[in-house]
Chain A
Amino acid sequence: MTALRTGQVLLMLAGLIAWALQFLLIYGATSTLCGREWADATFLGLGVVQASILIATVTALAATAAAFAWSLRGYRSAEARPVSAADRFMVQSAALVNGFSLIVILWQGIPAFILPACA
């Protein structure tokens, strides 16, 4: 696969990959911090569990938003310029996937605002 194609695939899956990393991070952090009773520590005035969830969520949201903006730009230019059908498909799908991922990542972060860290 050429670098262009690899880039297209990565852009198409960017939001979902960001979600997967966010998920891995928040679940791993919660398990480790609660499992080792380090959860009482604080970071920036927040409980360390809540803080790690927020940081992971904001980072994933930012990355996905960037990918979304990038693919939307590609979407428009693909409408304007004649490109191959496969190229257009990839960039349009990327916009859809990344847009959807924004919601999922957001939902994934909600528990931090509602639940206690380790109870």
Chain B
Amino acid sequence: MNAPERPESFERREPELPNALPRPAGEFEALKRAWKSPRGLSFITDVNNTYVGIWYVGTAFLFFILAGILALIMRAQLAVPESDLVGHDLYNQLFTMHGTVMMFLFAVPAVEAASVYLLPNMQAARDLPFPRLSAYAFWAYFVGGLVFFGTIFFGLAPNGGWFMYPPLTGTKYSPADNADWWLLGIGFIEISAIAGAIEIIVGVMKTRAVGMSLDKLPVYSWAMLVFAVMIVIGFPAIILGTLLLEMERAFDWPFFIAERGGDPLLWQHLFWFFGHPEVYIIFLPATGMVSMIVPAMAQTPLVGYRLIVLALIATGFLSFGLWVHHMFATGLPKMSLSFFSAASTAVAVPSGIQVFAWIATIASGRMKLTTPSLFVIGFLFIFTLGGLTGVMVAMAPFDWQAHDTYFVVAHLHYVLIGGMVFPLFAAFYYWIPVASKHALSERLGRWVFGLMFLGVNVTFLPMHITGLIGMPRRVYTYPVDMGWDALNLVSTIGSFMIAAGVAIFIYDLARKFRFASEDNAGNVWNAGTLEWLPNGQYATRSIPAVVSREPLWDQPNLSKDVEEGRYYLPGTATGGREALVTSPFDARPQYILQIPGAGWQPLLAAVFTAAFFLLLTVKLVLPSVVCGVIAIGCVIWWLWETDPGPTRPPADIGGGIVVPVYVTGPMNHSWWAMIVLMVVAGMVFTCMIFSYLFLWLVNPSAWPAQGFVPPHWIWAAIAAALYIASAILIDRASGNLRGEDRRSPRSVPVLIGIALVLVSAASAVDLAAQWRAGLSPSAHAYGAAVYALVSYQIFFVLTTLVMGLYTIARWLTGKLDSVRRTTFDNTMLFWYYTAAQGLVGIVVVHGFPRLTGGI
């Protein structure tokens, strides 16, 4: 028998505690004061992850209920054949909204929301590194999501399916605003998801308990890290997709119109390059939750930690090689399909690893059959079945039959409800004692589980057969004599059983959930991880040093010592809110991060960003632009208070460790965030290049269109030279802005100013060259693709412009010097990126047509 693995360090003696008792008077009070929430209405301006996390989870759950109600209406319509309960128009809106809301407004936000709440607690961090960014992401999602959902009450909801395939969603076949609500509403909520992902990556890598090295990271943190990286890689594809389709709808740039060189399949590639990873983006955090719940319920460490980490990382990679399995029937060569068949087969293995790791863990301990356990068991049951039908549809010939039928409806609901909703309910039952005065009722919990579990199987098991005997998806009704009637009626009954279970859950929630931080229900499950430490709004009183993956089990006095302030940073060094930044591998303390507290800025910025997009949807361009400008103003106002500089000398956090309260360069958290942002931008750009090449491939004889003479190469050379020159000037400015003596030379704003002129000129030359050559963006997909690349670059140059002027303003007001230069560093990184992207764009736009002999 293999003993459950335990890190060797467990054998070692605990180190001396870093801080001695008694703690100085006023230390704890100062900590509490720093983290106190504003009173009254201003309460909503707090950015503490505890509050934002709860609001965020609550909003996501609200959308789960709303989208669930839409599903019940659909099931009622389908209960009998030829029913006229709801008409085709409403039904098409219902299924579009059900899918869209469940995916974009429930599933992704829910797992992101849960991590805003849980992640810092689990890593004993005081907060996420960018709390205002979380608040911004939440409010943008809250306002945008509710308005988006509201369209269903006015018959304005999108009705082209959650996958929005053009040409059906193009202007010609969907002239009304319904499709625009999807494109702008969802495009905007994706931005909020990306903001959250950046936060999570930096949070997992940099704000952890001392000594929580990568081998001791909770599996949930690993899952969230992979999740966030997947969002960063996957979401740009759909952002670009929505951008291109909206440009086609608004300006008639024919990316997807076959008559003018576009191709509807381009959308499908972009959509599913996001859409398939999306499934794992939802699933992985849920498995992370399960990997936390199972050890607590079985009272034994997780078996196979490394194998689970392998499974998470492998799933993260492989899920990007699956997208065409949603396109098996599109007529691509069999060889191409087979690659995706193979990868779809391979991705089953990591899931198998995780399932057996949980079984092994359960076997090695003693599973208590609590409500969280029941939901975990239900998850394993339902998800295993869904995974097996997943392997079936991975075989292309079988999928040719099953695709777009109720078989796939059954499969995807088994995978998503099994793989995400059940773990989420397990998580609700499991973690509510951290956030509430009382745990939820175990007695009612059994009813909730029983009804949901039976309901899911009664609803979706028959659908496998309904699909194979010929019922296609997305039909608002069906003929009488097809043999589908009884199966559909059973499915409808099942769906109301699920609803009954969820209703009892809501009742229990209303009865038992009372928000609490200090006086929460406590460690009711005797779990071993740090979120069960005594907690306040400041998170833990002191930041513990951990020696294993289950510190509460292996360091018996940990709770008491942490609460008494005997571990690191038991107070506040700068008087404000702080987090301890640790090194990404070994989690050694690096510096104290001064984090901003409550403020109206993120809230207002989010509301006006939402207003910008929503007003744009209804074509109120001027008010929309005004809101956009106000939103940018709010962001600048918000940023102005950041980058505080070294407000005090390095501070002693205990145990003789003295760390600075401000650092710059690659150690800095915002440097990391900027790198991640650049990856996002680079992925959008890469997808754009892919689109360009894809359109070339479908237009063998017209790239560029016959008769068009591309601009002379001298234009390309001038633009390239200008980009390079501007980057060199920024590099010079950076060189001048060095030294421990806090100098702020006058050359810095001057160099930035000149560089701004050069970079603007570069993009202007780029645009003018194509325009003067007579290239039209709407005549042919070639022109559309070129102008898409050029406009994307112009957007970056405009952003650089704002950042450059902001940096100059910081210098003018004395907030920028050779030590306090985070603002400059961020601008510099972004500048290098913009210049590099501009150069690549020039090479493609000017070089590729020459290379392929189009000229």
Q: Which residues of A contact B (CB under 8 A)?
A: 1, 5, 12-13, 16, 19-20, 23, 26-27, 30-32, 34-36, 49, 53, 84-86, 88-90, 92-93, 96-97, 100-101, 103-104, 107-108, 110-112, 114-119
- Across the two chains, which residue of chain A brings its CB closest to B307? A96
Asked if A1 and B216 sit within 8 Å, CB to CB, the answer is no
Asked if A119 and B349 sit within 8 Å, CB to CB, the answer is no
Stretch of B339-347, B573-581, B600-608 that contacts chain A? B339-347
Question: Cβ of A104: which chain B residues have Cβ within 8 Å of it?
Answer: 314, 318, 343, 346
- In the complex, A51→B345 CA distance in Å? 23
Question: Cβ of A84: which chain B residues have Cβ within 8 Å of it?
Answer: 213, 586
- In the complex, A79→B32 CA distance in Å? 46
Question: Cβ of A93: which chain B residues have Cβ within 8 Å of it?
Answer: 306, 309-310, 313
Asked if B335 and A30 sit within 8 Å, CB to CB, the answer is yes
- In the complex, A19→B310 CA distance in Å? 15
Knowing A90-B214, A107-B346 are in contact, say whether A96-B310 is a contact too (CB < 8 A): yes
Asked if B310 and A86 sit within 8 Å, CB to CB, the answer is no
Per-position 1/0 for B289-331, Cβ under 8 A of A: 0000000000000000011011001100110110000000000
Question: Cβ of B213: which chain A residues have Cβ within 8 Å of it?
Answer: 84-86, 89
Question: Cβ of B332: which chain A residues have Cβ within 8 Å of it?
Answer: 31
- In the complex, A114→B334 CA distance in Å? 10
- 6 cross-chain pairs, A with B, having the tightest CB-CB distances, nearest first: A89-B215, A111-B338, A86-B213, A16-B317, A96-B310, A104-B346
Asked if B306 and A96 sit within 8 Å, CB to CB, the answer is yes
- In the complex, A49→B338 CA distance in Å? 13
Asked if B342 and A117 sit within 8 Å, CB to CB, the answer is no
Q: Is B2 an interface residue (CB 8 A)?
A: no
Asked if A34 and B333 sit within 8 Å, CB to CB, the answer is yes
Q: Is B482 an interface residue (CB 8 A)?
A: no
- Across the two chains, which residue of chain B brings its CB closest to A8? B585
- In the complex, A115→B396 CA distance in Å? 13
- Across the two chains, which residue of chain A brings its CB closest to B318? A104
Question: Cβ of B310: which chain A residues have Cβ within 8 Å of it?
Answer: 93, 96-97, 100
| 22 CB-based A-B contacts, threshold 8 Å | A1-B666, A12-B313, A13-B313, A13-B317, A19-B321, A26-B339, A27-B339, A31-B336, A34-B333, A84-B586, A85-B7, A85-B9, A85-B215, A93-B309, A93-B313, A96-B306, A96-B307, A103-B346, A104-B318, A111-B338, A112-B335, A115-B334
At the interface, is chain B mostly helix, strand, loop or mixed?
A: helix
Question: Cβ of A111: which chain B residues have Cβ within 8 Å of it?
Answer: 335, 338-339, 341-342
Question: Cβ of A89: which chain B residues have Cβ within 8 Å of it?
Answer: 213-215, 306
Q: Is B700 an interface residue (CB 8 A)?
A: yes
Q: Which residues of B contact A (CB under 8 A)?
A: 7-9, 213-216, 306-307, 309-310, 313-314, 317-318, 320-321, 332-336, 338-339, 341-343, 345-346, 349, 584-586, 666, 697-698, 700
Asked if A116 and B334 sit within 8 Å, CB to CB, the answer is yes
Task: Give the distance to chain B from A30, nearest Cβ to Cβ, in Å.
Answer: 5
**Quick one: which of A5, A13, A23, A31 contacts B697, CB cutoff 8 A?**
A31
Asked if A108 and B317 sit within 8 Å, CB to CB, the answer is no
- In the complex, A118→B331 CA distance in Å? 11
- Across the two chains, which residue of chain A brings its CB closest to B350? A100
- In the complex, A119→B335 CA distance in Å? 8
Task: Give the distance to chain A from B553, nearest Cβ to Cβ, in Å.
Answer: 18
Question: Cβ of B335: which chain A residues have Cβ within 8 Å of it?
Answer: 30, 34, 49, 53, 111-112, 115-118
Most chain A beta-carbon contacts within 10 A, residue among B213, B333, B345: B333
**Quick one: which of A35, A36, A108, A116 contacts B343, CB cutoff 8 A?**
A108
Question: Cβ of A117: which chain B residues have Cβ within 8 Å of it?
Answer: 333, 335
- In the complex, A56→B345 CA distance in Å? 20
- In the complex, A53→B306 CA distance in Å? 32
Task: Give the distance to chain B from A92, nearest Cβ to Cβ, in Å.
Answer: 6
- In the complex, A100→B321 CA distance in Å? 16
- Across the two chains, which residue of chain A brings its CB closest to B336? A30
- Across the two chains, which residue of chain B brings its CB closest to A88? B215
Known contacts A26-B339, A93-B310, A93-B313, then 12 further A-B pairs from the complex at CB < 8 Å, ordered by chain A residue = A16-B314, A19-B317, A30-B335, A31-B332, A35-B698, A96-B310, A97-B310, A101-B314, A104-B318, A108-B342, A110-B338, A118-B333
- In the complex, A110→B339 CA distance in Å? 9
Task: Give the distance to chain A from B187, nearest Cβ to Cβ, in Å.
Answer: 26
Question: Cβ of A20: which chain B residues have Cβ within 8 Å of it?
Answer: 317, 320-321
Asked if A27 and B336 sit within 8 Å, CB to CB, the answer is yes
Question: Cβ of A36: which chain B residues have Cβ within 8 Å of it?
Answer: 697, 700
Asked if A85 and B216 sit within 8 Å, CB to CB, the answer is yes
Task: Give the distance to chain B from A61, nearest Cβ to Cβ, in Å.
Answer: 14
- In the complex, A53→B336 CA distance in Å? 11
Task: Give the distance to chain A from B328, nearest Cβ to Cβ, in Å.
Answer: 14
- In the complex, A35→B554 CA distance in Å? 61
- In the complex, A98→B298 CA distance in Å? 31
- In the complex, A88→B335 CA distance in Å? 41
Asked if B339 and A23 sit within 8 Å, CB to CB, the answer is yes
- In the complex, A91→B286 CA distance in Å? 27
Asked if B342 and A86 sit within 8 Å, CB to CB, the answer is no
Question: Cβ of B307: which chain A residues have Cβ within 8 Å of it?
Answer: 96
- In the complex, A13→B7 CA distance in Å? 23
Task: Give the distance to chain A from B713, nearest Cβ to Cβ, in Å.
Answer: 25
Task: Give the distance to chain A from B530, nearest Cβ to Cβ, in Å.
Answer: 17
- In the complex, A1→B584 CA distance in Å? 8
Task: Give the distance to chain B from A59, nearest Cβ to Cβ, in Å.
Answer: 16
Asked if A119 and B697 sit within 8 Å, CB to CB, the answer is no
- In the complex, A35→B693 CA distance in Å? 12
- In the complex, A14→B645 CA distance in Å? 39
Task: Give the distance to chain B from A31, nearest Cβ to Cβ, in Å.
Answer: 6
Task: Give the distance to chain A from B262, nearest Cβ to Cβ, in Å.
Answer: 16
- Across the two chains, which residue of chain A brings its CB closest to B697? A35
Task: Give the distance to chain B from A113, nearest Cβ to Cβ, in Å.
Answer: 11
Asked if B697 and A115 sit within 8 Å, CB to CB, the answer is no
Task: Give the distance to chain B from A12, nearest Cβ to Cβ, in Å.
Answer: 8
Question: Cβ of B698: which chain A residues have Cβ within 8 Å of it?
Answer: 35
Task: Give the distance to chain A from B81, nearest Cβ to Cβ, in Å.
Answer: 40
- Across the two chains, which residue of chain B brings its CB closest to A28? B693
- Across the two chains, which residue of chain B brings its CB closest to A1? B584
Question: Cβ of A97: which chain B residues have Cβ within 8 Å of it?
Answer: 310, 313-314
**Quick one: which of A5, A31, A96 contacts B585, CB cutoff 8 A?**
A5
Question: Cβ of B334: which chain A residues have Cβ within 8 Å of it?
Answer: 115-116, 119
Knowing A118-B333, A119-B333 are in contact, say whether A23-B321 is a contact too (CB < 8 A): yes
Task: Give the distance to chain B from A108, nearest Cβ to Cβ, in Å.
Answer: 5
